[in-house]
């Protein structure tokens, strides 16, 4: 059994605790949280000095807290990894063996997830630790990818655009509908199909709509309908960028 300790009780920490608890191959030794929490299955501590012996310590804390928390660890030469998409492993204190365990998924504490489909991007300072990280991914039935810092930053950038920005647009669409007393449910099949299409078609092929058809009358009408100046600019920028792709 691999002995694991999770540090941090935000979105990622909470999901990793569930994931490790669900695996018969993992001994989740402890869960460190600076705020007071309780858990039925796992020993929770909020004093860093009470950390026990484990094979790996996974820091699931805000990017700007990785250094501070790792500096507080009192042990040496253990494998300590973080879960950030845009932070080098060098942020972790040198007194331990350093690495990255970056799960490429969007985690919200309140939303259940199918953990088997999560790609984990692994990186480590020492070769033998990389083997350990791969073994850990195997034990929790997750697919791993050996990804260096430059590649991880690019993945994170693509993830922000495809998830965070898209989700912002879902929220904006919802607001536009609710403002006119329209049920957001009506739009959901379209949103689902937009995402499903990427499994069959290249996004360039699957684009539809007024900008793709270069229908300026509709574009102008939509821009006028938007009350917020920033939303009007957003609509114009997106339309122009789509038009640029299909102009030729
Ligand atoms: N959420 C995602 O979808 C996602 C996906 C992949 C990777 N990541 C990465 O995973 C990491 C955690 O993200 P998250 O979404 O879980 O963040 P989060 O929900 O905001 O949780 C952050 C956690 O860090 C703790 N923390 C902050 N400063 C601390 C400090 N100085 N000492 C000890 N604990 C501290 C917080 O404690 P309190 O609760 O006490 O404030 C909280 O438990 C980040 O590096 C993020 O980039 C996130």
Report the pLDDT averaged over residues 171-175.
98
Mean pLDDT of the residues in the chain:
96
Q: Would you kindly state where each structural domain of the chain is located, as residue ranges?
A: 2-147, 153-246
CATH architecture of 2-147: 3-Layer(aba) Sandwich (3.40)
3-state secondary structure 5-21: EEECCCHHHHHHHHHHH
| pLDDT tens for each residue of 122-139 | 999 999 999 999 999 999
- Judge whether 13 and 6 are in contact, CB under 8 Å: yes
Q: Which CATH class is domain 153-246?
A: mainly alpha
- Judge whether 89 and 123 are in contact, CB under 8 Å: yes
Tokens of 186: 């009506």
Confidence of residue 12 (pLDDT cuts 50, 70, 90): very high
- Per-residue pLDDT, 247: 85
pLDDT at position 118 over 90: yes
Report the pLDDT averaged over residues 36-63.
96
- Among residues 74, 89, 27, 35, the alpha carbon closest in space to that of 17 is found at 27
- Per-residue pLDDT, 117: 80
Radius of gyration of the chain (CA): 22
Q: How far is the CA of 6 from the centre of ligand 1 (A)?
A: 12
* Full-model pTM: 0.94
Report the pLDDT averaged over residues 131-160.
97
Report the pLDDT averaged over residues 62-84.
97
Report the pLDDT averaged over residues 223-246.
97
Rounded to 10 degrees, the C-alpha dihedral 90/91/95/100 comes to -70
Compute the residue count for the chain.
Answer: 248
> Which residues have C-beta atoms less than 6 Å from ligand 1?
8-13, 33-35, 60-63, 65, 68-69, 83-85, 102-103, 106-107
Confidence of residue 248 (pLDDT cuts 50, 70, 90): low
């Amino acid at each position: 059994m691999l002995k694991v300790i999770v540090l941090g009780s935000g979105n990622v920490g909470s999901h990793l605790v569930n994931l490790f608890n669900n695996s018969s191959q993992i001994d989740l030794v402890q869960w460190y949280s600076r705020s007071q929490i309780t858990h039925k299955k796992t020993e929770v501590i909020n004093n860093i000095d009470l950390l026990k012996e484990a094979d790996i310590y996974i820091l699931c804390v805000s990017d700007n807290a990785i250094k501070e928390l790792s500096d507080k660890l009192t042990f040496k030469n253990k494998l300590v990894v973080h879960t950030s998409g845009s932070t080098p492993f060098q942020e972790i204190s040198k007194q331990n063996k350093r690495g990255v365990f970056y799960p490429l998924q969007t985690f919200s504490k309140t939303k259940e997830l199918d953990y088997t489909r999560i790609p984990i991007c692994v990186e480590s300072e020492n070769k033998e630790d990389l083997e350990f990280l791969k073994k850990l991914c195997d034990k929790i039935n997750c697919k791993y990818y050996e990804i260096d810092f430059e590649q991880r930053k690019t993945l994170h950038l693509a993830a922000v655009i495809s998830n965070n920005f898209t989700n912002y647009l879902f929220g904006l669409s919802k607001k536009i509908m609710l403002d006119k007393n329209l049920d957001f449910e009506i739009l959901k099949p379209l949103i689902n199909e937009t995402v499903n299409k990427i499994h069959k078609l290249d996004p360039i092929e699957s684009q539809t709509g007024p900008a793709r058809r270069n229908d300026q009358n509709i574009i102008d009408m939509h821009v006028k309908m938007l009350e917020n100046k920033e939303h009007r600019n957003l609509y114009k920028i997106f339309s122009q960028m789509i038009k640029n792709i299909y102009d030729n």
